[in-house]
Amino acid sequence: MTILLTGATGTVGRNVVEQLVSRGADVRALVRKPDKANLPSSVAVVQGDLLDVDALRGALSGVSTLFLLNAVVPDEFTQALIALNLAREAGVERLVYLSVIHSDVYVNVPHFAGKFGVERMIEAMGFGATILRPAYFMNNDLAIKDVVTGYGVYPMPVGSKGLAMVDARDIGEIAAIELIRRESSAAALPLERINVVGPDTLTGADIAAIWTEVLGRTIAYGGDDTAAFEQNSRQFMPPWVAYDMRLMAERFLTDGMVPEAGDVERLTAMLGRPLRSYRDFAAELTAAA
Tally of CB atoms within 10 A around 242: 17
In the chain, the domains with their CATH numbers are: 2-137+167-196 (3.40.50.720)
- Percent helix, strand and coil across the chain, each to the nearest 5: 50, 15, 35
Task: In whole angstroms, give the CA distance from residue 111 to residue 101.
Answer: 12
What is the reported pLDDT for 1?
A: 79
pLDDT tens figures, 188-221 = 899 999 999 999 999 999 999 999 999 999 999 9
What is the reported pLDDT for 68?
A: 98
Percent of the chain's residues with pLDDT above 90: 98
- Could you tell me which of 248, 213, 219, 215 has the C-alpha nearest to residue 233? 248
DSSP assignment letter at 258: P
Distance set, CA 252 to CA 101, 261, 277 (Å):
12, 19, 19
Burial class (CB in 10 A: 0-12, 13-18, 19+), 46: middle
Residues with Cβ within 8 Å of 6's Cβ and at least 6 positions away in sequence, in order, are 13, 29, 30, 50, 66, 67, 68, 69, 70, 83
Distance of CA 140 to the CA centre of its chain: 10
Amino acid present at 156 = M
Under the banding of pLDDT at 50, 70 and 90, the label for residue 29 is very high
